[in-house]
Chains A and B, each alone.
Chain A
Amino acid sequence: MLKLENISKTYNHRHEPLTVFDRISYEMLDGDFISIVGPSGSGKSTLLLMLGGMMSPSSGKVVIDGESIYDLPPNQRAEFRRQKIGFVFQTFNLVPYLSALENVQMPLFLAGLSEIEQKERATSVLERLGLGARLAHKPSELSVGQQQRVALARMLANDPTVVLADEPTGSLDPETSAQVMDFFEEINQEGRTVVIVTHDPSVARRAGKMLRLGDCKAPYDEQAPVWASVV
């Protein structure tokens, strides 16, 4: 279970406080498939980073499997990310000087697996994504769709229970984008919680639940973020 308890987040933007979230609470169940939509600047990425143990809220708690993750010391939080969280980014963020295989090995390497185990696991995950023939290719030698699949393989490598994707189809054509969504459905069916940030209504509709965030660029006292969930 993934719980946001009374979360507030205030950025310091050029010495001006900018409140993105103000005392919101939300609960995701294991195996949920949730899309987060909202205009640019509404705090979608912020929410995702907070869920993934990357950014602490100004106040409130993020509780995953009964553990308040921002009460953990940084090292244990890193450990927690290694074991439970899988991130996917719009720009893929592959390490440019490593091959596809080596990129997928990275989370396994960070988790302390031996080199042989890393290679075995990474190869099988890449094969699952249809990249068995591209193991030695560098990101620059792959098409955009292939790059995103390497990123998906890297996310899946450490067998995460929570998958957090920030606009994973944002730079893909509709066809590839649909394939990627098939993949998210597939891993959701395996019992993983999947949270996808997206601009694309057709992508958002494929999720079981939808969170809509409001525009936080307007002065805070005029408009509180819209916080709605659609089943």
Chain B
Amino acid sequence: MRLRKLVWKELFERKNQVVTGLLAILLGVTVIVAMRNITFYSEKAVAQELDALGANILVLPKSVTLQNYYSADIQGQEFPEEYVSRLANSNIQGVDNLSPKLAIPVQIDDRKFTLTGILPKSEFQAKSLWQGAGIFSRPTGCGTVANIPGLTPKDPKETLVRKRVIDTLNENEILVGADVAGALGVKANDNLSLLGKSFSVAAVLPQTGTVDDSRIFAHLHTVQQLSGKGKVLSVIEIVGCCDQISKGLVSKINHLLPETKVVTIGQIVDTQIKTNQMMSSLSLVFIAIIVLVGGAGIANYMYANVRERRREIGTLIALGAGSGFVLRMFLYKAILLGLVGGISGYLLGTLLALLLGPRIAGIAVLPMPTLIIWALMISVIIAVSASYFPARSAARLDPCTTLQEI
């Protein structure tokens, strides 16, 4: 016989009571683990999208809603392309890069994708009208990623993924997002027909984990033509110089283009960040609740257990157990309960996160092994502190009264 064996046997003898006693703590840990898990991946997704985007200011049609940043440019509203030249010819400082886009929905074999028209940098620079503005003749500013000597330069097509800038793109060429390519089974140099026009696939873009994966990119003017809407844009993405943003770049652009909505990424992802923050503080509330409810559940169970085992405790004392042994026996039990609650809470919570993550937050969630440490810590600390007073009352039981009552 060992202490561990003794405690396990007793736990198994009264499984149902144990489950009831642990229920609150188990549910609490489950919810916390699930929320932490989802929050972590949702924050990571935001960071990833931001990183992939490169741009930090968007010029959007006045009436779009900002519920979902990533679809802000596919709400079917446009403004004239002429705004780009207005912007390029202005004397606004701190615009490092401009990227006008038009996004329209397309359908291929019952599947819906977004066709996004972009303007390659070569043409952009070639436009005499814009050259004078000198945006691209300026030295690279704070918003561009510098080339680091010694690092192999990336495939030029991949720079779209990182910087949203592409050097060349012919009128009949398209770039295909990784998910689209996967779904349609196309690869580079294949031909693909979109809205009645035949395109050749210039490249399949690498996986980014963002909405870009389910987009198809073509030349802006081609897309404008196919949409039949004329020279319009659904968004201008701007890489703004950070210190200029704080000096009022946004309001200057807004002043220049009063018919548009000019927003920073920060503003747009704000809702998402707010949701995440809410999840964080909500999980704090949950921690407080399980500390109370879970602790009360355990304490209640433990007091009942001590009461039920009075005779057994008296007998053990008669057999030579000291009060220290009785205390250890109940605290050991508390630790075991905490471990059981923590581990099963972690497993259930992870399962919940994996199931709900894609549904409520629209993100893929993976199990996070580090959370098990948190789950165990919370659960064990609660179980042990809630059991301390019941355990002490057991250790202080008068063995005589427990043996005399029949």
Does A associate with B in a complex? Answer: yes
Task: Determine whether the beta carbon of B315 is less than 8 Å from that of A110.
Answer: no
Task: Determine whether the beta carbon of B319 is less than 8 Å from that of A45.
Answer: no
A54: which of B1, B12, B318, B406 is its contact (CB, 8 Å)?
B318
Q: Mark A65-97, 1 if CB is under 8 A from B, else 0.
A: 000000000110011011101010111010111
A175 at the interface (CB under 8 A from B): no
Interface residues of A in 96-123 (CB under 8 A from B): 96-98, 102, 105-111, 115, 118
User: Which residue of chain B is the closest to A83 with respect to CB atoms?
Assistant: B320
| Distance A52 CA – B320 CA, assembled complex (angstroms) | 10
B323 at the interface (CB under 8 A from A): yes
User: Which residue of chain B is the closest to A122 with respect to CB atoms?
Assistant: B1
A169 at the interface (CB under 8 A from B): no
Residue with the greatest number of chain B CB neighbours at <10 A, chosen from A54, A95, A96: A95
Given contacts A82-B320, A89-B403, contact A97 B315 (CB under 8 A): no
Task: Determine whether the beta carbon of B317 is less than 8 Å from that of A78.
Answer: yes
Residues of B within 8 A of A97 (CB): 9-10, 12-13
Q: Mark B1-35, 1 if CB is under 8 A from A, else 0.
A: 11000100110110000000000000000000000
Give the size of the chain A interface in residues (CB under 8 angstroms): 35
Number of residue pairs spanning A and B whose beta carbons lie under 8 angstroms apart = 83
Task: Determine whether the beta carbon of A75 is less than 8 Å from that of B13.
Answer: no
B322 at the interface (CB under 8 A from A): yes
Task: Determine whether the beta carbon of B323 is less than 8 Å from that of A109.
Answer: no
Least CB distance, B336 to chain A, in whole angstroms: 15
B47 at the interface (CB under 8 A from A): no
| Distance A68 CA – B312 CA, assembled complex (angstroms) | 27
Task: Determine whether the beta carbon of A118 is less than 8 Å from that of B1.
Answer: yes
Given contacts A54-B318, A87-B319, A106-B1, contact A96 B13 (CB under 8 A): yes
Task: Determine whether the beta carbon of A106 is less than 8 Å from that of B319.
Answer: yes
B185 at the interface (CB under 8 A from A): no
Chain A to chain B contacts (Cβ below 8 Å), 16 pairs? A49-B400, A54-B317, A54-B400, A55-B399, A74-B323, A79-B322, A81-B318, A87-B318, A91-B311, A93-B312, A96-B13, A97-B13, A106-B1, A107-B320, A110-B321, A154-B319
17 other contacts beyond A78-B325, A81-B319, with CB at 8 A cut-off? A54-B403, A78-B321, A79-B322, A81-B320, A85-B318, A89-B403, A91-B311, A93-B315, A93-B318, A95-B312, A95-B315, A102-B9, A106-B316, A109-B2, A109-B6, A110-B320, A118-B1
